[in-house]
Amino acid sequence: MPTEFELLDLEEAEIPGDEWEEIDVTDTEADRIARKRDREFEQFEKRIKDADQFKVEQSVFDDATFAALYKLVQDGHVEAFGGPISTGKEANVYHALGDDREVAVKVYRINASNFRQMREYLEGDPRFEGLGGKKKDVVLAWVKKELANLERARAAGVNVPEPIAAERNVLVMEYFGDDDGRAKRLGEVQIENPETAYEVVREYMRRLYAAGLIHGDLSEYNIVIHEGHLVVIDLGQAVTVHHPNSRDFLERDCTNVAAFFTRQGFEVSEADLLEFVTEPKPDPTGA
């Protein structure tokens, strides 16, 4: 077990400015590939469908999802697929070989997605003004949001996976793991030094908040340990401070984090954590 949880150095971080990037959610190249169905794509789809690691998914991955994977391969972001790392409620995560390193490929299953709830998480987000209510559009916006959130978090000095590419309902990002497999979640290990780990998590929450973002599902399940560093993952649902319920989400994150560290033997007060995270006030506050 690592005894140090080194905090990411803030010197390299550029704090985002006041502007919020607009995110394009128009039709994707993957949909066009799926419609066109040329021979090469058909062969790719058949090969992937026959591969062991995708056997279970055959029925839940639609043609356009295979087309998205195909596009990511063609663009050189993925060279070979490994096994599944996680099969979640709405997304499956796979280990894969990327351009020059290992990557994690997160595939959202559009049909399994609770898009009504997803829609609610996009509320008030200046990056998604004018997004309609169509299920597919919402899931595609979600993936772009996850990528944008990872970029923003990184820029703010939070240790998160580097986002590599987003194609339709598929996100490719930096992979954390070693010979024993994927990096362990905070909740899966025995922590010797909960106080140090807590201080890092608390600081990352504050940096995220200062960049105008609230994780919204922060707990010991969405923090992994890699080479002695804590990495915050799963930023799809992260909302901007403009969200009407952003305060509730932040309070819930604080509750989860405080409860976890308290269980680890380092007593943390939810109120103290909330105060730490929200001081100083977020910048940007957006429009």
Ligand X SMILES: Nc1ncnc2c1ncn2[C@@H]1O[C@H](COP(=O)(O)OP(=O)(O)O)[C@@H](O)[C@H]1O
- Interface positions with Mg ion (CB under 5 A): 222, 234
Closest CA to 235 of 180, 156, 181, 177: 156
Closest CA to 169 of 152, 148, 146: 146
Closest CA to 113 of 84, 79, 133, 136: 136
Q: Of these partners, Mg ion, ligand X, none, which one is at the site of residue 147 (CB under 5 to 8 Å by kind)?
A: none
Is 127 strand, coil or helix?
A: helix
Least Å distance, CB 41 to ligand X, is 27
For ligand X, the nearest residue by Cβ is 88
For Mg ion, the nearest residue by Cβ is 234
CA distance 51 to 213: 39
Is 9 catalytic? The answer is: no
Q: What are the structure tokens assigned to 137, written together?
A: 């559009």
- Interface positions with ligand X (CB under 6 A): 85-86, 88, 91, 93, 104, 106, 161, 173-177, 182-183, 185, 221-222, 224, 233-234
Least Å distance, CB 79 to ligand X, is 17
Least Å distance, CB 62 to Mg ion, is 23
Bridge partner list, 86 = 93
Of 34 and 183, nearer to ligand X (C-beta) is 183
Instruction: Report how far Cα 229 is from the mean position of its chain's Cα atoms.
Output: 17
Tell me which long-range contacts 38-47 makes (C-beta under 8 A, separation of at least 24).
41/66, 41/67, 41/70, 44/69, 44/70, 44/73, 45/70
Of 91 and 205, nearer to ligand X (C-beta) is 91
Active-site residue (options: 27, 75, 178, 217)? 217
Least Å distance, CB 46 to ligand X, is 27
Of 224 and 274, nearer to ligand X (C-beta) is 224
Of 67 and 183, nearer to Mg ion (C-beta) is 183
Is 217 catalytic? The answer is: yes
Q: Which residues are catalytic?
A: 217, 234
